[in-house]
Amino acid sequence: MSATAHPAALDNILQIPPPEPGQRISYGDDPNQFGELRLPDGKEPHPLVIFIHGGFWRAAYDLTHAGHLCVALAQTGCAVWSLEYRRVGQPGGGYPGTLDDVRAGARRVTQIPGLDLQRVVVVGHSAGGQLALWLAAQETIALKAVVALAAVSDLRRGHALNLGSGAIEAFLGGSPAQCGDRYGLASPMDLLPLKTPQVLLHGTDDDTIPFELSEQFANASANARLVALRGAGHFEPIDPRTEYWPLVLENILAPISGHE
């Protein structure tokens, strides 16, 4: 499956002013252990999208840049839980703290009223895509699907490609030769097969995370579907202003709307 679009030139989603933050709810004692909850209008309980931002697991990147996507999702009638987590360069960030935070943050939704926990999908972008696929493998909460946007779905291959100029080694604390067990526990490719259905959307012109990672992951998984975003780069999948957004939105909502 593919989509082709040629959107007009837009300011990078990272550079435009963010929307107002959602309601911040802690899931731990660290200042970075919180989620932002956005609730839609309409009758409860609401289907839920758990969103995990990217940024190569580094402290320099937080959930702010995903705010416009989260607002756009909430406008469709979904509740959105955007997770923050400890990152490399912060106390407790990296392996295993970042993974522990994602698991704890996902569990926190079970204590939030007004959510339909029978209709939950987790979505992640870039490094957040790795975290979303990893979360699905943990079976921490019931998920209808995991939607991975330009995901770092294979940490061993990503290390070989030196993605993020050493980001994977910094996240896991070494190379595959030095700590292969960590790669085995954290890399989505190593965690196959996954029970949760996977949808991978990736721009064919992505020069940050190569399209080949999603292509190879989808080929290796018995329960995955690849959607090629023809001509898209790395940030178009999380930018509601682009012509790719309707297809991204369709694939996020389908598992929780009953129209898969």
Q: State the Cα–Cα distance between residues 221 and 127, nearest whole angstrom.
A: 19
What pLDDT, in 10s, does the model give residues 38-87?
A: 999 989 999 999 999 999 999 999 999 999 999 999 999 999 999 999 99
Residues 6+ apart with CB under 8 A from 252: 49, 73, 121, 123, 147
- Residue 60: predicted pLDDT: 95
Residues 6+ apart with CB under 8 A from 160: none
Backbone conformation region of residue 58, classed left if phi is above 0, alpha if psi is from -120 to 50, else beta: beta
CATH number for the domain harbouring residue 156: 3.40.50.1820
In the chain, how many domains are there? 1
Predicted TM-score (pTM) of this structure: 0.95
Secondary-structure breakdown of the chain: helix, strand, coil percentages, each rounded to the nearest 5: 35, 20, 45
- Residue 5: predicted pLDDT: 40
Q: For the chain, what's the residue count?
A: 260
119: containing domain: 2-257
- Residue 6: predicted pLDDT: 39
- Residue 208: predicted pLDDT: 97
- Residue 259: predicted pLDDT: 45
Residues in the chain with pLDDT values less than 70: 1-11, 258-260
CA geometry: angle at 215 spanning 73 and 148, to 5°? Answer: 20
